[in-house]
Structure 1
Amino acid sequence: MTDFELIRSKRRSLELRVLEDGTVQVRAPQRAPLRMVRDFVDSRRQWIADQQQRQATRPRQRWQDGEVLAWRGESLQMDVCEGRTRVVVSGPYLSVRVAEPDNELTVRTAVEGWMRRQAKPVFEDSIARQFDWFETAGFARPTLRIKKMRTRWGSLSARGYINLNIALLHYPPAALDYVVMHELCHLKHMDHGPGFHALMDARMPDWRQRKAVLEQPLFQP
């Protein structure tokens, strides 16, 4: 029997996740019988094994001097030195100055803080460039929220928020634009039915190629 972490909530269905460290996590309704949860996990044993193997072989991001950071489809070599905290792009380098340059957590914290500051204007620009048609159709522009998400690139909430994964900054701008368009199309079609796909085809004919870029492995943070 596969070991798993069970999280109960007000959701209506079972959801299975394999985390970066290989941990199996199941999200289940509050009153779902434990036997049903176990049967669900057992029925997905091969999928779980495949995902755990994928996570185990996926390259990990190292936060050290000389390591490479994927940035908007390009590669930046990290130049990490001691100094007052500062992160800035300088040609092909990401100059990182921190108090403890040999401490990977310190470097990671500084770089991720810098990424979050870069994300808002970049993401807002993508939304603005693609929203005109939806505005003309009578939809209100959703409010941006930037998140770290394990299993999604983005989501659109019924409360008017568009949630985008900060990890999109590692990929080319065309991939970010695809995710934004995908979520904007949910303003009109909340499901992934024929109407949704027809709208995606109309608004972004090459969306499938853009989506494929997000399926290419990068260093895992």
Structure 2
Amino acid sequence: MAIESHHITVSGLNVEVVRKDIKNLHLGVYPPHGRVRVAVPLLVTDEAVRLAVIEKLPWIRRQQMKFQNQPRQSQREMVNAESHYYLGQRYRLRVTERPGAAMVAVNAVTYLDLFVRPGTTQEQRGEILSKWYRVQLKLLILPLLEKWQSVLAVQVAAWVVKKMKTKWGSCNPSSRRILFNLELVKKPEQCLEYIVVHELAHLVHRTHGEEFIAMMDTHLPHWRMTRELLNSMPLGHDEWGPGSYLEE
């Protein structure tokens, strides 16, 4: 748990410094605008943080440029021909008003059909689609958890799908509880698998230290490429805060 958080300026960059009871320094660049955050052990000085940031300046600038160039969706209006994503594929929304229960269906590789009662509002349409996304994501997560819990010899106590503005996923090693961002259902399946493995690995190694990296390298050798793919895809309308996986 963080016991101190403050900001310093390094080469014109505003850097958040968070001191925790950890062993290694972790530097991250986060969407949507490339905010820089450094988590450090309790006794690491601000001067040491400055040196670490200066050493990584070229990498930081590259990540910030990626975020600046990253496409973002405008707020969805839930109308015909609007673009929506599912498993990395872009679909055109096709809204059909009819009596009966609401439902969503994927039509080949072109349309995402949304069937609603006449007079359904934009907000209601969005909630119907969101509920469908949630069900689909849970169905995708289940077999991945079964597979990777066995491979990594770990066991989750609970997991939840949640709308999050800060992270693709989150793990509490103490409670063995994992959160998955609902937005993952819009990304390619390999991105979801990467997040599943990433969060399960935190049940063994709490931080992104050398042992954590070694575990990821062993079990998911191409995880860095998948991370880049995930962090390059369109972000939703909501603003993001700390927690992407662009960490060094």
When normalised by structure 1's length, the TM-score is 0.71
8 Å contact from structure 2 (residues 83, 90) kept in 1: yes
Shift of 1:100: 5.1
Percent identity reads 26
Shift of 1:207: 0.4
For residues 170-189 of structure 1, the aligned pairs below 5 Å read: 170-189=186-205
Tell me which residue corresponds to 2:3: 12
For residues 1-221 of structure 1, the aligned pairs below 5 Å read: 12-14=3-5, 54=68, 58-62=72-76, 63-83=78-98, 84=100, 85-92=102-109, 93-99=111-117, 103-135=121-153, 139-157=154-172, 158-218=174-234, 220-221=236-237
Return the alpha-carbon distance in structure 2 between the equivalents of residues 13 and 127 of structure 1: 35
Return the alpha-carbon distance in structure 2 between the equivalents of residues 54 and 99 of structure 1: 40
**1:37-58 C-alpha deviation (Å, 9 max, x unpaired):** xxxxxxxxxx9xx89x959x73
- Higher mean alpha-carbon deviation, 186-195 vs 97-106, is at 97-106
AA partner of residue 133 (structure 2): M
- Higher mean alpha-carbon deviation, 67-76 vs 139-148, is at 139-148
8 Å contact from structure 1 (residues 100, 106) kept in 2: no
Structure 1 residue ranges without an equivalent (≥5): 1-9, 23-46
- Higher mean alpha-carbon deviation, 194-203 vs 89-98, is at 89-98
Shift of 1:140: 2.3
Return the alpha-carbon distance in structure 2 between the equivalents of residues 210 and 14 of structure 1: 31
8 Å contact from structure 1 (residues 71, 169) kept in 2: yes
Runs of 4 or more, structure 1, over 6 Å off, are none
Identify the structure with bigger relative contact order (alpha carbons < 8 Å, sequence gap 6+). 2
User: What is the root-mean-square deviation of aligned Cα atoms in Å?
Assistant: 3.1
Return the alpha-carbon distance in structure 2 between the equivalents of residues 106 and 219 of structure 1: 22
Structure 2 residue ranges without an equivalent (≥5): 7-15, 17-29, 34-60, 238-248
Aligned length: 182
8 Å contact from structure 1 (residues 200, 207) kept in 2: yes
AA partner of residue 83 (structure 2): V
Question: Equivalent residue of 1:198, what SS?
Answer: helix
